[in-house]
Structure 1
Amino acid sequence: MTQAATLTPTAPRPAHVPDALVYDFDMFADPALLVDPHQRILDLVRNAPPVFWTPRNGGHWMLLSHAANFNASRDTESFSSEFISPEKMKALRAMMPPGSPHIPQAIPINLDPPEHGKYRGPLQRVFSPKAMALLTDDIRALARDLILKVKDNGRCEFMTEIAELLPVQVFLKMLGLPLERQAEYRALVRDHLADSNLDPRKMIMKLQRVAANMRDTMLERRDNPRDDILSLLWKLEIDGKPTTLEDMENYGVLLFIAGLDTVMNGMGHGARHLARDQALQQELRRDPTRVGDATEELLRRYTFTVPPRFVGKDIVFDGVAMKKGEKVMLYLPAADLDAKEYPDPDRFDLQREGKPHIAFNAGPHRCLGSHLARLELQVLYEEMLALLPAFRLDPQHPPRFHGGHVVGVDTLHLVWDAQV
């Protein structure tokens, strides 16, 4: 999605949705969102109902308040992550002719407890804080290399020259996928995340395409294991059974989609804020030990992921009647700007205390890669502040943004006074 995106048609209001809870907002193509995302989200928090129904993108619920997002994230019975129920998936597979390709699911993110725990558990140690800490030196070396390549130019397009390359290369190396296919992989992820319609058939086709692009490498790692995540996954047992190729494809599509997009957008939001706040840059250069605190406050101020859910049964949630099967968006960027939880939520406060943000969600689906994301963000900010002079936004090239399931940055031009 870009700033030229067109609003989707409006869907009719369901009979059980009162007029007072209807608010017209297109999370993919709202014009103000594409100009300045979090300013528009602040406007939503201040002026829209904390839980509302929008007629855009087929019609769905939006959860804005911190309480609504936190509670819904933990109530997996009422708010399901399964975009195709186990019953429907079983029936679908039964209808397919023999020899049809496997229908991959992004596991465990598209499972509900208790099945979710069986598949998430084996991944926990792969992404543990201890395991991620071992990557610090490699991440720092790559960050330094990318920054030094542009330093003498006095400018860069941050997203393509740094923000995309750093986490994507780190993750491809971790996963064991070939770096030379980076552009191809990124195109697959962009196509997947840009779709505003969670049509199960389209989702299946896209996931099958992702799995097909990884299959040769997966099989090669089974036969010739290396020091990477794909090789490690082949050694796991799931619910006491050896890992199968279907398990690998399920894990693979999740790691592929999550690892190749989200963190780069956090980097873009963080770098943009630093570029607009010279005083903060100076403070962090004087005391680099505060970069960790700054990283957390930047994550809160510019939360960027929007997990989808489906109502699992007829419920009344936060005083709102919802019907089974309706789509719900956990609008985490709004939750972290809720004034009831964070006083003066629009203000970046390096000294902020109180409740932690939920940029990585809450409950059983809390982001598995949060430790890696934190590490990459903090190391990048440390190296930018250590290696670059004071950097600022290029007034000739304003930033461009996109909405959707990841509220992100398309382009971010930075400039600084190059030292000759």
Structure 2
Amino acid sequence: MVQPVLSPLVERPAHVPEALVYDLDYYADPGVLQDAHGRALQVAKEAPGVFWTPRQGGHWVLRSHNAVFEASRDTERFSNAPISFEQLQAIIESLPEGAPKPLIPAPITFDPPHHAVYRNPLQKAFSPKAMNVLKDNIRALAVELIEKVKPQGGCAFVKDISEPMPVTIFLQMFGLPVDRQREYRDLVEEHFAQTDKDPQLIQARLRKVADVMRDAILERKDNPQNDLISLLWDSEFNGQKATLHDIENYAVMLFTAGLDTVVNGMALGAVHLAKNPQLQAEMRAHPEKTSDLTEEMLRRYTFTLPPRFVAEDCEFQGVQMKKGEMALLFLPGADLDAAEYPNPEVFDANREGKPHIAFGAGPHRCLGSHLARIELNILYEEMMARLPEFRLDPDKPLTYHGGHVWGPNEVYLKWDV
């Protein structure tokens, strides 16, 4: 993997107090690449609850739990898109007939009230009831992957388990060929590795993602199956039947999210377990505690950093912000905020108090949270039940990637056979 380059420093704007400046490059910070959540803990201890970083073009970072929670629910001041839904529609309508329409990841890019219109078709598909139906299939896959590597005395955990497990399940749900998994993952990794903000380059990457699914999307229109693409073709938005553009907008969002986020969550959990043999022993003795372990793992190693865009000049928690500025929701830091979680660096599966914010809050809270929890719980259960005590391979040190999703590049595990 190519080492990302630390972005250049930019000048502090006049409305940003010097006391609120803290240096963090969420893509290429050396501390993030060496130990992502060690750096997150350092930021949580050192940085103001809301700060401005001169990296990645200069932007706000909402670090405290309180700031993240408030901004996540305030779509009037913090939008999920740099321009409004109405402006997007005006751009599309102004295009010449036959011109390609810009791809707009849906429903995540839209704010209320439009967000609910585009999220509703997916609510039932990702409901707890619908996800519970998948449990047996998820467990069978987890068992297959673990048993395959068990006799080897070790594995490359991302390549062998945490990537194929959730990606296979998602491709089956979505209605895409599982045998193209490697091609799809390479495309998603390429997409997330890019740091440029040029709208034309972003559109080119999204079009590349949409095009790889185009044949499947068109085929489902005429031959619907029991999958998400078929469900979306059968949906209506404000009384209008779904169009190819609508399906592609959904596809680029679901494809990039479904093929990446949980992969990192699983890898982070494996690292923690590998470093803590006593915890492994406790989980083997008390499998009923797995769900508590999963929740604390999500808190301690929260891995998404979603962007928001300041929709109007405003004051937020005493800080002056300008319309159009980016405000990064620093979820890893929010879940390590000592103001919310006593001794936040301590992993405590019996922790009581406020729930974590790993899946976000407000109208944009993660649609796939129920599926992610099921997959994580089953993975940890089957690892504890089937593998002997495992550890990190000391000859293959960990490295991490930054960006909007943090996680290890690979996790090499070893165990005695």
Equivalent residue number for residue 70 of structure 1: 69
Query: What is the identity, as a one-letter code, of the residue corresponding to 2:336?
Result: L
**Separation in 2, partners of 1:174, 1:369:** 12
Deviation, 1:88, is: 4.3
Equivalent residue number for residue 295 of structure 2: 296
Structure 1: gaps spanning 5 or more residues: none
Range 152-161 or range 194-203, more displaced: 194-203
**Separation in 2, partners of 1:412, 1:272:** 7
**Separation in 1, partners of 2:240, 2:92:** 21
What is the CA deviation profile of residues 351-370 of structure 1, one whole-angstrom value per residue up to 9, with x for unaligned ones?
Answer: 10111000000000000000
Equivalent residue number for residue 135 of structure 1: 134
Structure-2-length-normalised TM-score: 0.97
Equivalent residue number for residue 185 of structure 1: 184
Equivalent residue number for residue 124 of structure 1: 123
**Separation in 2, partners of 1:410, 1:84:** 33
Range 223-232 or range 106-115, more displaced: 223-232
**Separation in 2, partners of 1:42, 1:392:** 23
Equivalent residues in 2 for 1:33-112 (5 A)?
33-93=32-92, 96-112=95-111
Query: Is the 8 Å Cα contact of residues 83 and 110 (structure 1) preserved in structure 2?
Result: no
Range 194-203 or range 138-147, more displaced: 194-203
Range 262-271 or range 391-400, more displaced: 391-400
**Separation in 2, partners of 1:83, 1:187:** 27
Deviation, 1:6, is: 1.8
Equivalent residue number for residue 341 of structure 2: 342
Query: What is the identity, as a one-letter code, of the residue corresponding to 2:404?
Result: H
Find out whether 1:22 has 2:26 as its counterpart: no
Equivalent residue number for residue 8 of structure 2: 9
Deviation, 1:198, is: 3.1
Range 311-320 or range 206-215, more displaced: 206-215
**Separation in 2, partners of 1:231, 1:174:** 10
**Separation in 2, partners of 1:316, 1:83:** 18
Q: Say which SS state the counterpart of residue 312 (structure 2) adopts.
A: coil
Query: Is the 8 Å Cα contact of residues 127 and 369 (structure 1) preserved in structure 2?
Result: yes
Equivalent residue number for residue 148 of structure 2: 149
Query: Is the 8 Å Cα contact of residues 58 and 197 (structure 1) preserved in structure 2?
Result: no
**Separation in 1, partners of 2:294, 2:187:** 29
Query: Is the 8 Å Cα contact of residues 158 and 267 (structure 2) preserved in structure 1?
Result: yes
Query: Is the 8 Å Cα contact of residues 122 and 238 (structure 1) preserved in structure 2?
Result: no
Deviation, 1:100, is: 2.1
Query: What is the identity, as a one-letter code, of the residue corresponding to 1:175?
Result: F
Deviation, 1:172, is: 0.5
CA gap 1:194/1:83 in 2 versus in 1, 3 angstroms: farther
**Separation in 1, partners of 2:68, 2:9:** 25
Find out whether 1:32 has 2:17 as its counterpart: no
Q: Say which SS state the counterpart of residue 155 (structure 2) adopts.
A: strand
Equivalent residue number for residue 317 of structure 1: 316
Equivalent residue number for residue 229 of structure 1: 228
Deviation, 1:202, is: 2.0
Query: What is the identity, as a one-letter code, of the residue corresponding to 1:75?
Result: D
Structure 2: gaps spanning 5 or more residues: none
Equivalent residue number for residue 411 of structure 1: 410
**Separation in 2, partners of 1:89, 1:317:** 26
Q: Say which SS state the counterpart of residue 409 (structure 2) adopts.
A: strand
Query: What is the identity, as a one-letter code, of the residue corresponding to 1:126?
Result: A
Equivalent residue number for residue 203 of structure 1: 202
**Separation in 1, partners of 2:198, 2:114:** 23
Deviation, 1:101, is: 2.1
**Separation in 1, partners of 2:242, 2:87:** 24
Q: Percent identity?
A: 58
Equivalent residue number for residue 261 of structure 1: 260
Deviation, 1:87, is: 4.8
Q: Say which SS state the counterpart of residue 214 (structure 1) adopts.
A: helix
Query: What is the identity, as a one-letter code, of the residue corresponding to 1:221?
Result: R
Structure-1-length-normalised TM-score: 0.97
**Separation in 2, partners of 1:86, 1:109:** 12
**Separation in 2, partners of 1:122, 1:395:** 47
Equivalent residue number for residue 394 of structure 2: 395
Deviation, 1:92, is: 3.7
Query: Is the 8 Å Cα contact of residues 272 and 412 (structure 1) preserved in structure 2?
Result: yes
What is the CA deviation profile of residues 313-333 of structure 1, one whole-angstrom value per residue up to 9, with x for unaligned ones?
Answer: 011111110000001100000
